Amino acid sequence: MTTVHAMISPILPNQIYTKREQGFRGSASLSKNVFDTGYKSIKTDSAEYIKHSYNVFRNWCHNTVEVNVESERLINIVKSDEPYIFIMNHTYNQVKDIKTAKFFNTLLYREYIYNNKAATCPRSKVIANKNIIKSQPDGGDLYQWLGVTPISANVTGKHKNENRIIIDELVDKLGQGKINLFMFPEGALCMFPFLPLSYKFQPGVSSIVKKVLELRDKIKVIPLGFAHKKEISSAHMGEPVCFIKEEGKYFAQIGEKNIPLTNKGKFVNSDQIVPYISGVLLDSLELASKNAKNDLKKTGEVYTL
């Protein structure tokens, strides 16, 4: 199998980007000022939203990233018409982690566009620190339009309640199949890169999985492992983990395996399920992270998006 490097170069104003003999133009070309407010007139449930978002992300991506597209997991995500939760690991270089996440989302949007799913595909959402987002030159308006969801790092008092309302809104949209959610499960503990992932993995994403399963019978989680070298990064899509709830019983389906979430032979109830979901997700993310490091050792074709 050939591992493909994907390199995104900056966009040029008024240029039509082509692939597979198809062309498209975003609803508006980027102005010299990336914070121009013209994007606000574009409806987020339109195909033009995905095309314009793709152009914005593409303009920001200058790094080269190894992505295991030969696994066909990316195209399977696009063709499934299902919502996904993507969990990502932090490395020693959090700046590169964020850039690699942006790159992967750009790749995902490109595939939605060229498979004629821009109008109906789930919109990407990512949870981020409220203070960082609000510190942007435009107060974070563009980031939020692109799907960045700010929450408070302060989890006490009114901030805790505000965060809960925001998370519940994301859960509802996941349940309706309207969004894909990107999360770093380590949260603020990412500031300790020397600690093992097993110590830093927080239960927030598992709680979201549990809540989504109250709205739909299954939800798939994709572990997205990151690793970096000086001139190249790697984003490895791991095996999807499909969490299923049937008649109050929880299962985790990974490939051909259908794993019942049990304790001493008895199914775990909803009050106790979160740490069991976390255990499955931790194993899958650790494996994806390990494979991302191995992918950096490979060589393959480089192409431009």
Residue-wise pLDDT for 81-121, tens only, equals 999 999 999 998 888 998 899 989 999 999 999 899 999 99
Q: Which of 99-103, 194-198, 275-279 has the highest mean pLDDT?
A: 275-279
Q: Which pLDDT score is estimated for 120?
A: 96
Short-list 71, 108, 94, CA closest to 300: 71
Average pLDDT, integer, range 170-197: 89
Q: Is the pLDDT of residue 122 over 70?
A: yes
Q: Which pLDDT score is estimated for 155?
A: 65
Q: 129 with 190: CB under 8 angstroms? A: no
Average pLDDT, integer, range 65-94: 92
Q: 219 with 83: CB under 8 angstroms? A: yes
φ, ψ of residue 242 in degrees (nearest 5)? -100, 115
Average pLDDT, integer, range 272-296: 94
Q: Is the pLDDT of residue 145 over 70?
A: yes
Cα 31 to Cα 199: distance, rounded to the nearest angstrom: 44
Tokens at residue 223, please? 């572990």
Res. 37 pLDDT band, cuts 50 70 90: low
What stretches of the chain adopt beta strand conformation (E)?
4-7, 17-19, 22-24, 64-67, 84-88, 123-129, 148-151, 179-183, 218-228, 233-237, 241-246, 249-254, 257-260, 262-263, 266-267, 302-304
Name residue, tokens 């798939």: 220
Question: Residue 86: beta bridge partners?
Answer: 182, 222
- 210-219 b/e (C-beta count within 10 Å ≥ 16 → b): bbbbeeeeeb
Q: Which of 133-137, 254-258, 284-288 has the lowest mean pLDDT?
A: 133-137
Q: 254 with 55: CB under 8 angstroms? A: no
Q: Which pLDDT score is estimated for 2?
A: 41
Coarse DSSP helix, strand, coil percentages of the chain, rounded to the nearest 5 percent: 40, 25, 35
Q: How many residues does the chain have?
A: 305
Res. 302 pLDDT band, cuts 50 70 90: very low
Res. 58 pLDDT band, cuts 50 70 90: confident
Name residue, tokens 């709830």: 245
Q: Is the pLDDT of residue 127 over 60?
A: yes
Angle at 148 between CA 144 and CA 149, to 5 degrees: 90
Cα 97 to Cα 226: distance, rounded to the nearest angstrom: 7
Res. 4 pLDDT band, cuts 50 70 90: very low
Q: What is the amino acid identity at position 211?
A: K
What mean pLDDT, rounded, does the chain reach?
83
Average pLDDT, integer, range 20-25: 32
Cα 283 to Cα 260: distance, rounded to the nearest angstrom: 16
- State the greatest distance between any 2 C-alpha atoms of the chain, in Å, as a whole number: 62
Q: Is 228 helix (H, G, I), strand (E, B) or coil?
A: strand
Percentage with pLDDT > 70 across the chain: 84
Q: Which pLDDT score is estimated for 283?
A: 95
Torsion of CA 175, 286, 8, 23, to 10 degrees: -40
Res. 21 pLDDT band, cuts 50 70 90: very low
Q: Is 270 helix (H, G, I), strand (E, B) or coil?
A: coil
Q: Is the pLDDT of residue 198 over 90?
A: no
Average pLDDT, integer, range 193-213: 89
Q: For the chain, which domains are there?
A: 4-304 (3.40.1130)
